[in-house]
Structure 1
Amino acid sequence: MTESTLEQIKALTTIVVDSGDLTAIKKFKPLDATTNPSLITAAASQPENLELIESSYAQAVREGYKSDECIERTIDILTVKLGVEILKVIDGRVSTEVDASLSYDTEATIAKAKELLALYSSYGISSDRILIKIASTWQGIQAAKALESEGIHCNLTLLFGLHQARACADANITLISPFVGRILDWYKKADKVDSYPIEKDPGVLSVKKIFEYYKSQDIKTEIMGASFRSTAQVVALAGCDLLTISPNILASLESETTPVISQLNKDVVKAERDVAISKEEFKAQIEKDLMAFQLLQSGIDGFIKAREQLSALLHQSLGNSAEIKG
């Protein structure tokens, strides 16, 4: 019997589920899972998670939080509790995101990361099963560098260019998440086209460029392709270290039998390690790359909006309790 496309890719790449939906995670049995504010908000909207919401809020109240601070603490607790539930059904790691509003504040990002890990620890989860997810701003990368130096592993997200990947390598980051679909979306709009042939897909080519750069310089940071729009994009990156994929695309891959071979070459010619990218060079590169500049900021703005939507959802779900009123 012919193996599904998904099973063939699993032989080449570690598959990660990009979802907070426990049913989907149980179905696809990935090694790791990733979440973000949008996925947490979607999970919180499911009736079966009402108990988690209520217990998260009750904990925030017990800890003495009031008014809006109580809701913010509830979001952090809920995020971690969902991570704990995910870890019960996978063998690997879960990525948990720091509040995107802190993306340009190094010290606040470090503090929030440690708060999240302390919550995980209180539920008996060791830090080696957590990837702290941080936006790939210069400040975010420096926060991750400090965390990594303390043995706290990070996943740098919203990554759209080689300059960000270089800075992450310099910071000895555990894992980066270069986005594929959002890059494609941007170029389709900019070039006023409906599609690209897969061999010219700008998102796919961006990840391949980063992959070849890392392998040529023997950089240990893992590369996890993210933000897919089609099964073709996933197949085009077979052989990447990891790929984080939404449940709907995983289902399509499971139903297909497209032959899969590795599309990425790990045996590239080795080169001398580049000099570390400076803050000034990073700033100049990202400002020069309009796509990366716009997508980084819009991604941060989107995650902030998702957190605000979750806050509104919690206000609605929890009602006008005295504690929320403060």
Structure 2
Amino acid sequence: MNQLEQLRKYTTVVVDSGDIECIQKYKPQDATTNPTLILKSVLSKKYDFIVNNAIQYAQKIGGSVSDKVQNASDMVSVGFGTEILKYIPGYISTEVDARLSFNTDKCIQKSIQLINLYRNRGVDTSRVLIKLAATWECIQAAHQLKKLGIFCNLTLLFSFAQARACADANVFLISPFVGRIYDWYQKFSLNSSYCSLSDPGILAVKKIFVYYKKYMYKTIIMSASFRRIEQILELAGCDRITISPDLLEQLKIQTLSFTKKLDASKIDTVATQPVPLTESEFRFLHNQDAMAVEKLSEGIRQFSYDQMELEKFLLNLI
């Protein structure tokens, strides 16, 4: 077996892409998208039918130009999600505008709007995960949304405090960003040779995995944002792993065998869970981690920028 086939024995493989052809090729269980991936697919011109449908929808709904752009943008995301769901048996993750990351009420409102768009297109919305940045505000939004039957994927997760708060809120799934954590530490050790056993991104996920399994939290851990296949293989056994197309291709051509590295059955469990973090405790602990503070704000900025670029593109069409 190649390494991708081996990996599927230990963990659920997810494709991180907005490229529908790529998803057809690799046949993952689930798929994840974000504003950067959606923008890339839109600009590729391969999926103009999705963009054209979104423009027609926005024109039909009417309203101001700003309203039309917003409605078209939402429908682009839902359009890609709807198409992707035709080729996977599991979940599609669709991201909320990152500019709302510090407003709980607006995140809830936008999430409901996106779910309703999916529902109006005949999609089984139990297969849709709403992606939110793992800020305190978004974590609280995810907690409320779950009560409404809307499950969330908390993304841009870098600190253990974020992971703890997500578990406290009983969110459905988290996406710790292995590669971006690794990137931050690499800035300070440019000449060091790579070792997966000391990779800070891998160590962060392993710490979360042990904590979640020890206290029997139901929140799914989906490792994300990889830079090299060694990082993926070192996390074999994680609940889910979402992988970019280029790394999936590398896994397909490698045949060296590897073993399962994360095994929940080997972790002793504790019946009583820790007392949930308060907001002030969360903010203090998160802010003790300079890497997490920098990477979370950077991620929100980048996703916001790409969202605005998509809106500029749609504005020109409208």
TM bucket (normalised to shorter chain) is over 0.9
User: 1:65, CA displacement in angstroms?
Assistant: 2.9
- What is aligned with 1:83? 81
Report the counterpart of residue 294 of structure 1 in structure 2: 294
SS in 2 for 1:107: helix
Matched, 1:309 2:302: no
- Determine helix, strand or coil for the equivalent of 2:10: coil
1:159 matched to 2:145? The reply is no
TM-score in terms of structure 1 length? 0.95
Secondary structure at the residue paired with 1:190?
coil
* Counterpart Cα distance in 1 of 2:44 and 2:299: 24
Partner of 1:175: 173
Residue 198 of structure 1 is aligned with which of 188, 196, 199?
196
Inter-partner Cα distance in structure 1 for 2:131 and 2:276: 22
CA contact (8 A) 2:160 2:286 kept: no
For the residue of structure 2 that corresponds to 1:48, the secondary structure is coil
- Report the 3-state secondary structure (helix = DSSP H, G, I; strand = E; otherwise coil) of the residue aligned with 2:233: helix
Counterpart CA distance in 2 for 1:59 and 1:313 is 16
In the other structure, the counterpart of 2:274 is 274
Partners of 2:45 and 2:249 lie apart in 1 by 23
Q: Which moved more, 1:49-58 or 1:65-74?
A: 65-74
Range that drifts further, 248-257 or 64-73:
64-73
Q: Decide which of 51, 55, 58 is 2:56's aligned counterpart.
A: 58
1:139 aligns with 2:132: no
3-state SS in 2 of match to 1:208:
helix
Counterpart residue type for residue 255 of structure 1: I
Question: How far 1:277 moved relative to its partner?
Answer: 0.8
Which of the residues 99, 102, 105 maps onto 1:101?
99
Q: Is the CA contact 2:61–2:68 (under 8 Å) kept in the aligned structure 1?
A: no
In structure 1, how many angstroms separate the alpha carbons of the residues matched to 2:3 and 2:72?
A: 40
- The amino acid of 1:15's aligned partner reads V
Q: How does 1:32-71 map to 2 (within 5 A)?
A: 32-71=30-69
The TM-score with structure 2 as length reference comes to: 0.97
Q: Name the count of aligned residue pairs.
A: 316
Unaligned runs of 5+ in 2: none
CA contact (8 A) 1:226 1:244 kept: yes
Match of residue 121 from structure 1 = 119
Three-state SS of the structure 1 residue aligned to 2:94 is strand
- Distance 1:24-1:194 versus aligned 2 partners, 3 A rule: farther
Q: Could you give the per-residue CA deviations for residues 243-300 of structure 1, whole angstroms, max 9, x where no partner exists?
A: 0000000000000012121111312122331110110110001111101111111100
Identity between Structure 1 and Structure 2 (%): 45
RMSD of aligned residue pairs (Cα, Å): 1.1
Instruction: Write the deviation string for residues 187-230 of structure 1: whole angstroms up to 9, x where unpaired.
Output: 01134445531110000110011001000001111000000000
- 2:213 partner letter: K
Return the alpha-carbon distance in structure 2 between the equivalents of residues 292 and 167 of structure 1. 14
Cα distance in structure 1, aligned partners of 2:302 and 2:94: 16
Query: Residues 83-126 of structure 1: CA distance to partner in whole angstroms, max 9, x if unpaired?
Result: 00000111111000010000000000000000000000000012
Give the conservation status (yes or no) of the 8 Å contact 1:65–1:73.
no
For structure 1, the residue ranges without an aligned partner over 5 or more in a row are 319-323
**Shift of residue 66, structure 1, vs aligned partner:** 2.4
User: Separation in 2 of the partners of 1:50 and 1:195?
Assistant: 44
Distance in 2 between the 1:29 and 1:248 partners? 15
Give the structure 2 partner of residue 321 of structure 1.
none
Q: How far apart in 2 are the matches of 1:264 and 1:35? A: 25
1:212 counterpart residue number: 210
Aligned twin of 2:28: 30
